[in-house]
Amino acid sequence: MSNFFNVIKGLVFGTNQNNIQENQVIENYNEAETHGICTRCHKTAKIKKYGLCEECFIARKELLNAANPEIYNQDTYIGINQNLDRLLQYNFNKIDIENAEIVEHLSGIEKAFLLYCDFKSVDDFKIAMYWFYQHFIDCNYLISKFVKNGYLEIKYSTVFSKLTSDILKEALKQANLKVSGTKSELAKRIEENFTEEQKSELAKNQGKKFVVTDKGFQEIGKYKPIIANDVDFENNCYSLILENKLDEAYQMMCKYEQNKLVSRGLNCDWNNPPEKKFRINLEKELPFKLPNCMKLYEKDVKATAIYTNIMGSNPRNAVPFFCQRVSANIDRKILEKAFIFLCLYESGALNLNYSDIENLEQEQKRIKNTPADVFKNLSIDDFIKAVNKKFIDSGLNIDTLKYDVLKDGTYNFTYNDYQIGRIKIGKRSSKMQIVTKDLPIWLENLTMDEYTNNIDKWVEYTKELI
Ligand SMILES: [Zn+2]
């Protein structure tokens, strides 16, 4: 208090008599003022910029450094990452439940992180870096807070369906029980045949887990976040799209990016984002017909495609997002293909073949019902021979025609180092990729003759390239 009065006195009356004394007073005054609670780790400490304590302030700086490739050389790279490990690490010993705050509700990001903690090992919990880069969380503080508020428990879990199939099979084998079946069947078999003692021993062998409580799940709400790591943002943004308030939804997304420590989009200024044009509109008809199985849910189909697009997310993520919202039983393959198409359409791709999407159901039926002998007659060696022959016949130079085999067994063909197509032949499925200017198309489960005929499209594309 006396420091405060001295400063006021100094401000009002001037302190010309003694400059050194004045500086000291002001320094002390600043110190007293800047002592507070860190916005990230909630420790009481001297507060630096952004409301952060010294340690969190350094962590922030290091994260921003690490996200900036321009400053990198080998030494700084190692140094920065060592520092980050030290500053961000999850450490069970740092969990301080007693001193955590009691809250009424969690923020959207906290809810998403709570869900992320479910069933993670207490002793060995590896937290993905995006939690720090994007949302700059303090994992030890948040976990303490979750436990203190009854959202998260630390215990041996007997929810065996969450264990891996390998662990379940090993446990069944030890107990001389059958080891065949799906994961839920394996878990059920344990549930029904193990004694209480065996069950608790299996649980103990897995080590203690973080387990989200009923109260925790209630707090998270009905929908798990799938595309954004923020439960409230995801629900609110999607609601706006359903109401056809597309510009508002887009602005909301920009704000979400602004609030991240490291935003997505190289050099994109989210304070001043590029204008966004929407092709899909909730109130207008699409220029193509949806597959029959999706027609009933047209509103959610459109909204999901728009949401996935403004979030810059992979169209494949649209599938679990959509399924969660409408809880319909639709063939996942149809949904995946439809959403890839819809997201391409929404992002402005040209020359899309509208009939592709309408016929997805028949296409999927044909793929499912492919007779077994179609696969018997497929030969990658014959296919490669046919490719060589067709390229020679077209007057192309086959010295620059090459292929390599990818990890999953897909053959990747290049001409002059340009990718021109792929093919994968499996025992129960096969597919061939046709590259075009706008998007690659995959043809599935064709006969050997059909695959060979489609090499013409590779030749066509290669001629356009050179
Ligand atoms: Zn802090």
What is the rounded CA–CA span in Å between residue 58 and residue 75? 18
Q: Are 151 and 114 in contact (CB under 8 A)?
A: yes
* Residue among 151, 163, 164, 166 nearest 210 (CA): 151
377-399 pLDDT, tens digit per residue, is 999 999 999 999 999 999 999 99
Task: Note the pLDDT of residue 6.
Answer: 40
DSSP 115-138: HHHTT-BSS--PPPTHHHHTT---
Residue 84 CA to ligand 1 centre (angstroms): 14
Residue ranges of domains in the chain: 160-206, 231-353, 372-465
Say what percent of the chain tops pLDDT 90.
69
Least confident of 67-81, 98-112, 172-186, 337-351: 67-81
pLDDT band at 158 (very low <50, low <70, confident <90, very high): confident
74-109 pLDDT, tens digit per residue, is 778 888 888 898 899 999 999 999 999 999 999 999
pLDDT of 330 higher than 50: yes
pLDDT of 10 higher than 80: no
pLDDT of 12 higher than 70: no
Residue 117 CA to ligand 1 centre (angstroms): 21
Q: Are 380 and 432 in contact (CB under 8 A)?
A: no
Residue 69 CA to ligand 1 centre (angstroms): 26
Residue 53 CA to ligand 1 centre (angstroms): 4
Residue 327 CA to ligand 1 centre (angstroms): 42
* Residue among 147, 146, 129 nearest 137 (CA): 129
**Backbone torsions φ then ψ of 433, nearest 5 degrees:** -100, 130
Task: Note the pLDDT of residue 264.
Answer: 87
| Residue 417 exposed, middle or buried by CB count within 10 Å (0-12, 13-18, 19+) | exposed
Residue 115 CA to ligand 1 centre (angstroms): 23
Token pair in block for residue 27: 């320094």
Helix (H) or strand (E) holding 431: strand 430-434
Residue 398 CA to ligand 1 centre (angstroms): 62
Q: Compute the average pLDDT of residues 357-363.
A: 91
* Residue among 307, 445, 316, 304 nearest 369 (CA): 445
Task: Note the pLDDT of residue 33.
Answer: 59
pLDDT of 431 higher than 50: yes
Residue carrying the six token digits 């350094």: 58
Task: Note the pLDDT of residue 351.
Answer: 79
Task: Note the pLDDT of residue 108.
Answer: 97
Residue 35 CA to ligand 1 centre (angstroms): 12
pLDDT of 18 higher than 70: no
pTM over 0.85: no
Say what percent of the chain tops pLDDT 70.
92
What is the rounded CA–CA span in Å between residue 102 and residue 46? 23
Token pair in block for residue 263: 């935003």
Residue 57 CA to ligand 1 centre (angstroms): 7
Q: 145-148 — which CB contacts under 8 Å span 24+ positions? A: 145/100, 145/101, 145/103, 145/110, 146/106, 146/110, 146/114, 146/117, 146/216, 147/95, 147/97, 147/100, 148/97, 148/98, 148/100, 148/101, 148/102
Those residues whose C-beta lies under 8 Å from the C-beta of residue 34, and which sit 6 or more positions away, are 46, 47, 48
What is the rounded CA–CA span in Å between residue 235 and residue 222? 10
Q: Compute the average pLDDT of residues 166-180.
A: 91
Residue 88 CA to ligand 1 centre (angstroms): 11
pLDDT of 439 higher than 70: yes
Residue 459 CA to ligand 1 centre (angstroms): 60
More confidently predicted of 274 and 132: 132
What is the rounded CA–CA span in Å between residue 445 and residue 428? 9
Residue 245 CA to ligand 1 centre (angstroms): 38
Task: Note the pLDDT of residue 2.
Answer: 40
292-327 pLDDT, tens digit per residue, is 999 999 999 999 999 999 999 999 999 999 999 998
Residue 343 CA to ligand 1 centre (angstroms): 41
Q: Are 451 and 378 in contact (CB under 8 A)?
A: yes
Residue 111 CA to ligand 1 centre (angstroms): 20
Task: Note the pLDDT of residue 209.
Answer: 95
Residue 214 CA to ligand 1 centre (angstroms): 30
DSSP 244-286: T-HHHHHHHHHHHHHTSSS-SSTT--TTSPPP---S--TTS--
pLDDT of 368 higher than 70: yes
Residue 38 CA to ligand 1 centre (angstroms): 5
Helix spans in 347-447 (H): 354-358, 360-368, 372-376, 380-393
